[in-house]
């Protein structure tokens, strides 16, 4: 999910620290743009490889070999960020099997498949950090978000199972639950300036900190949980949401 929004900011945060990156997403044009931005951010000016692969994660089985070939050209992988996601709002009666299936495929199963691909690398290197991006809706659902909220809850539960399985191999798994973040995932992101300001002012009333989150807020949390700064942290669920989950 590196082509825009939270995923793009996470990629840029790691690029700043000199990481090699393999960016995944559906939009080749946007991935190319993020790749260029990342290459210009390496503050250490060290040799750095940043590559991408454009495809729909719902079809990941068709790209397993291509993924492994891309990984082989980079430094041994130590971090996996599972950020790709689709949001859906609709009542129980409006939520079709197709919606449930798409939520399951993208918001959960794609993360499972990517982790299965990276897991042998992590085990061999005796080091790995997995950061799954869930949602506060996975902890505190609201009406008309049943499919999205249920799948995000499953992602949280799966993270903690991963942490237990990975511990003996020094593989850490943690989860971030963002609140309302200004990204293309939300319709208000695409409004004209005046309409967007009015909408954000209304949404800010639901936050203890009285403002909507920025993608950079999630990127900082992701870097912390993936880096050695959190070397003794696994199985954690970190709310980065302006306090909305307790308001």
Contacts of 174 (CB under 8 A, 6+ apart): 129, 130, 131, 132, 159, 163, 225, 230, 233, 234, 235, 236, 237, 238
Q: 20: how many CB neighbours lie within 10 A of its CB?
A: 18
Q: Name the token pair of 236.
A: 């954690």
CA distance 151 to 6: 19
Ramachandran assignment for 2, one of left (phi > 0), alpha (psi -120 to 50 degrees), beta (any other): alpha
Residue 47: φ, ψ to 5°: -65, 130
Which H helix or E strand runs over 200?
helix 193-204
Q: Exposed e or buried b for every residue in 48-57, given b needs 16+ CB within 10 A?
A: bebebbbeeb
Whether 19 is a known active-site residue: answer no
Q: Catalytic residue, from 19, 63, 148, 223: name it.
A: 148
SS3 213: strand
Task: List phi, psi (to 5°) of 187.
Answer: -55, -35
The catalytic residue positions are: 148
């Amino acid at each position: 999910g590196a082509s825009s929004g939270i995923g793009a900011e996470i990629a840029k945060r790691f690029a700043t620290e000199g990481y090699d990156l393999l960016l995944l997403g559906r939009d080749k044009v946007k991935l190319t743009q993020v790749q260029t931005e990342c290459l210009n951010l390496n503050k250490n000016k060290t040799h750095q490889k940043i590559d991408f692969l454009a495809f729909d994660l719902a079809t990941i089985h068709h790209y397993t070999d291509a993924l492994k070939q891309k990984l082989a050209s980079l430094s041994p992988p130590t971090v996996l960020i599972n950020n790709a996601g689709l949001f859906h709002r609709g009542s129980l009666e409006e939520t079709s099997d197709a919606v449930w299936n798409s939520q399951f495929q993208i918001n959960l199963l794609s993360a499972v498949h990517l982790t299965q691909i990276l897991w042998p690398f992590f085990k061999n290197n005796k080091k790995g950090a997995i950061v799954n991006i869930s949602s506060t809706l996975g902890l505190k659902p609201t009406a008309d978000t049943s499919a999205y909220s249920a799948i995000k809850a499953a992602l949280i539960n799966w993270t903690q199972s991963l942490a237990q399985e990975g511990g003996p191999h020094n593989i850490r798994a943690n989860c971030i639950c963002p609140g309302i973040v200004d990204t293309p995932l939300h319709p208000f992101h695409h409004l004209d300036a005046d309409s967007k300001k009015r909408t954000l002012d209304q949404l800010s009333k639901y936050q203890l900190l009285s403002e909507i989150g920025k993608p950079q807020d999630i990127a900082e949390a992701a870097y912390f949980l993936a880096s050695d700064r959190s070397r003794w942290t696994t199985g954690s669920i970190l709310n980065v949401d302006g306090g909305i989950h307790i308001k």
